Amino acid sequence: MPGALLFSSRLDDPVAWSAALKAEMPELDVRVSPDLGDPADIETALVWKAPPGELASLPNLKLITNLGAGVDPILADATIPPHIPVARLGDEVMAQMMAQFVTMCVLRHYRDLGRYERQHREARWHYELPRASYDVPVGIMGIGLLGGGAARMLASIGFRVAGWGRSPRTIEGIETYHGPERLAPFLARTEILVCLLPLTRETRHIVNRDALYALPRGAKLVNCGRGGTVDEAALLTALQDGQIAEATLDVFETEPLPETHPFWRMDQVLVLPHIASIAVPEIAARDVVENIRRLHQGLPLLNIVDRARGY
């Protein structure tokens, strides 16, 4: 009999998650924050930005699962005992939803849809001949489960795609670059840059002024990874002077993006409220429950985060 699972998220639906978890493991006792009952009953936690201290208050906690791919909120919470393993969610459906979202953002920039949307509001009919997609190189920073899936989808529909990551990787049909010294050449060949990096010590503000100006003038930026990977002040300047022509931003250094932030009032920016991809309960519950079974059988846990690496 597994111990209780604590569900703690202000964004995800506890009813859908409880139903999905119980469909996979009917005997699982699911407690929804803040109704913990006896904290000593809780053995596993499924969380997105749990209130600081909540996880530290659970004396028998053996596994924390992050309700998403990016675990930076958990690793940043110093109250969580570092010996408790942290797993992240990341399944094929989540990867597909992210790839579709990135594909939508890239197509929208490639076909200048932002300009046509403005023309619609001005009741203006004006046509420009489009380029073929293979003439508009796309670059993806971060080519793990999510970024690699986005790269493959974009290549499959006709884009010339390159990917950049921390370590060497081979993806069929994708030109890959790795390491700090290959970042500038990767950026120089990229007209639409997609950022899907995890937030770690190494990636904080990796898209800084130098990186933005290593892109060709008039490049476009999509950030669906973590807000902290982009230096927002540098991006604001690059947008104002035309170095970056347009940006689609789904993540920000502070979320929700403060109402006073200039991004809201820029026509060439699309601010989105962190919607690119989610863990779909009916799918992702399988991985959560598989790890609970493994915990009880003493088997190696899946999707465990390397705290030193940060993802």
* Residues classed as catalytic: 226, 274
What is the smallest separation between the CB atom of 198 and a copy of itself, expressed in angstroms? 21
Binding part of the chain for a copy of itself, among 30-38, 72-80, 224-232, 251-259 by CB under 8 A, reads 251-259
Q: Is 254 in the site for a copy of itself (CB under 8 A)?
A: no
For helices 92-110 and 281-297, give the axis angle rounded to 10 degrees: 140
Q: Which residue has the tokens 């499924």?
A: 46
Minimum CB distance to a copy of itself, residue 252 (Å): 10
Considering the complex, what minimum distance in angstroms separates the CB of residue 211 from a copy of itself?
Answer: 25
**By CB under 8 A, residue 96 contacts a copy of itself:** yes
Pairing of strands 244-249, 138-141: unpaired
What is the 8-class DSSP label of residue 122?
T
| Choices 28-36, 48-56, 196-204, 262-270; region in contact with a copy of itself by CB under 8 A | 262-270
What track of x and - describes contact with a copy of itself for positions 71 through 90 (by CB under 8 A)?
--------------------
Does a cis peptide bond (omega within 30 degrees of 0) precede residue 39?
A: no
User: Considering only 26-34, 74-82, 99-107, 171-179, which stretch makes contact with a copy of itself by CB under 8 A?
Assistant: 99-107
User: Does 1 engage in binding with a copy of itself (CB under 8 A)?
Assistant: no
Which residues are CB-neighbours of 281 under 8 A, at least 6 positions away? Answer: 12, 13, 16, 17, 19, 20, 21
Query: How much of the chain is in helix, strand and coil states, percent to nearest 5?
Result: 35, 20, 45
| 15: number of Cβ within 10 Å | 9
Q: Give residue 112's Cα distance to chain centre.
A: 24
Convert 60-93 to b/e letters by CB count within 10 Å (16 or more is b).
ebbbbbbbbbbbbbbbebeebeeebbbbbbbbee
What residues between 105 and 144 interact with a copy of itself by CB under 8 A? 107-108, 110-111, 113, 116-117, 119-120, 123, 125-130, 132-133
Give min distance, CB of 271 to a copy of itself, in A.
5
Q: Should residue 9 be labelled a site residue for a copy of itself when binding is judged by CB under 8 A?
A: no
The answer to whether 172 contacts a copy of itself (rule: CB under 8 A) is no
**Using rule CB under 8 A, residue 271 touches a copy of itself:** yes
Place of tokens 């969380």: 47
List residues binding a copy of itself (CB under 8 A). 11-13, 93, 96-97, 99-101, 103-104, 107-108, 110-111, 113, 116-117, 119-120, 123, 125-130, 132-133, 153, 156-158, 255-257, 259, 264-265, 269-275, 278, 280, 283
